[in-house]
């Protein structure tokens, strides 16, 4: 169990230091987000102190009685004290999903990248060699994949959002990863109640390796425009 914790922590640190998903293969992006969600579940909400290393781990006893299930992000905010309750029923709309589609390449036949099989819009969880899907199935997989980003936005945003604001933020969180989104200037301004500054701060997150990346600049403008569109 402790070895598994160390592995997840290393992946969590990867998510923190890499932040944006720029240049990461699909398997690394999924692992970093999974690690972020798992560590958040063990140690509580971001910002709370991490317990001492010799503190008991809640599910450690389960390891002796049977296999431990993989920890996955909950479908809805885990607790009413996380985020803003007004956002609990929001889901990513078609306009937000289209931003992701425009930025991610669609592949209907499984392909290998970064030592991982991928398919559709970079889906990795169920992809395997020889797999073929339809465009409708690719969209279904994408909607499933963005749920973790939806949950991250619901947990971290403390102010009420409309559907377009929420969808723009989910697109940003999907691109940056949960860890990167948690440290974004967009979230910082938004949680201070400054919606206008939050919109402008989308433009701050268009770099990879210290360099401005054209397609990220274009994506941030699309997300900003959607964020500013009345719902």
Name the pairing type of β-strands 207-208 and 211-212: antiparallel
Q: Which two tokens stand for residue 6?
A: 């160390």
Radius of gyration of the chain (CA): 18
Nearest CA among 120, 127, 83 for reference residue 100: 120
Distance from C-alpha of 225 to C-alpha of 165, rounded to nearest angstrom: 9
Nearest CA among 174, 222, 175 for reference residue 199: 222
Query: Could you give the residue numbers annotated as active site?
Result: 104
């Amino acid at each position: 169990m402790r070895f598994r914790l160390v592995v997840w922590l290393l992946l969590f640190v990867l998510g923190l230091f890499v932040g944006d998903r720029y240049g990461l293969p699909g398997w690394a992006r999924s692992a970093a987000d999974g690690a972020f969600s798992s560590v958040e579940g063990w140690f509580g909400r971001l910002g709370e102190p991490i317990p001492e290393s010799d503190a008991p781990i809640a599910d450690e006893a389960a390891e002796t009685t049977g296999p431990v299930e993989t920890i996955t992000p909950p479908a809805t905010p885990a607790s009413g004290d996380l985020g803003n309750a007004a956002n609990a029923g929001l889901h990513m709309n078609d306009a937000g999903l289209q931003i992701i589609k425009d930025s991610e390449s669609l592949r209907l036949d499984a392909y290998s990248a970064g030592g991982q099989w991928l398919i559709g819009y970079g889906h990795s969880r169920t992809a395997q060699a020889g797999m073929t899907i339809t465009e409708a199935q690719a969209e279904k997989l994408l909607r499933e994949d963005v749920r973790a980003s939806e949950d991250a936005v619901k947990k971290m945003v403390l102010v009420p959002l409309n559907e377009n604001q929420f969808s723009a933020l989910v697109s940003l969180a999907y691109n940056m990863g949960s860890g990167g989104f948690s440290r974004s200037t967009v979230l910082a301004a938004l949680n201070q109640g400054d919606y206008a500054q939050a919109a402008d701060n989308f433009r701050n997150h268009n770099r990879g390796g210290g360099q401005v990346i054209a397609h990220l600049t274009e994506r941030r403008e699309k997300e900003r425009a959607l964020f500013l569109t009345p719902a």
